[in-house]
Amino acid sequence: MQKNELSTELMHPTFRTRVQADLCPLADCGGLVVTNKCLMLLFCVFAAIPAFSAQHVALHPKSTFDSGEQEIIRQIVDMERQAKEASLRRDADFSLRTLAEDYVAITPLGQVTTKQETISARRSGQLRYESMNVTDMVVRLYGDTAVVTARADVKGHQLGEDFSGPYRYTRVWVRRNGRWQTVSYQATVTQ
């Protein structure tokens, strides 16, 4: 058999099975099963590569932005700075201005909090931040939506209980009628 004929016939599934059986002396003892398991493992590895590639892209957003995007990112970073300062000062008016009517926050304990509950907690002093150090901030833009992820090391109390520690959070800003508003926030305790 010539080389070209062999490669053409190897494409046919029935011939491939026969070749594996002929090339594998352990075929009668389960060697063919081992070969098929190896092929399945290779398939799984190659199938997973696009997922890891997508994750790499998500973790490292594009580094070149046009001037309009750079300005929006500056605005969002400034809004994040203002949100931090408002939290430290318990500024309920900032929340009143910047939280959307349909705002929803999810606490590290999985509790759902609305705009009115957030404003009320700030006004009453139930929620008190003593310090907050925000790092690892990433801003991703999707039209009139900005998604912020960051790390925050905080020191504070809620209803007298200490909640100090490291957190990661996600905040979603949406531009409505020319102003940025927070529509969603979630914080998660980290180690």
How many of the other CB atoms lie within 10 Å of CB of 46? 9
The pLDDT assigned to 6 comes to: 39
pLDDT at 15 over 80: no
Provide the pLDDT for residue 16.
37
Does the pLDDT value for residue 54 go beyond 90? no
CA 9 to chain centre: 47
**Could you read off the pLDDT of 86-103 as tens digits, one per residue?**
999 999 999 999 999 999
Tens of pLDDT, residues 113-125: 999 999 999 999 8
* Cβ partners under 8 Å of residue 118, min gap 6: 95, 99, 103, 105
* Residues in Cβ contact with 191 at an 8 Å cutoff, skipping those fewer than 6 apart: 166
Tell me, what amino acid is at 134? Answer: V
Decide if pLDDT at 147 tops 50.
Answer: yes
Q: Exposed (0-12), middle (13-18) or buried (19+): which is 165, by Cβ within 10 Å?
A: middle
Q: What is the pTM of this model?
A: 0.65
**Using CA atoms in the order 124, 126, 132, 138, what is the torsion angle rounded to 10 degrees?**
-90
Token match 């969603």: residue? 184
What is the predicted pLDDT for the residue at 63?
56
For residue 127, give Cα distances in angstroms to 9, 123, 124, 144.
73, 9, 8, 30
How many CB atoms are located within 10 Å of the residue 20 CB?
Answer: 15
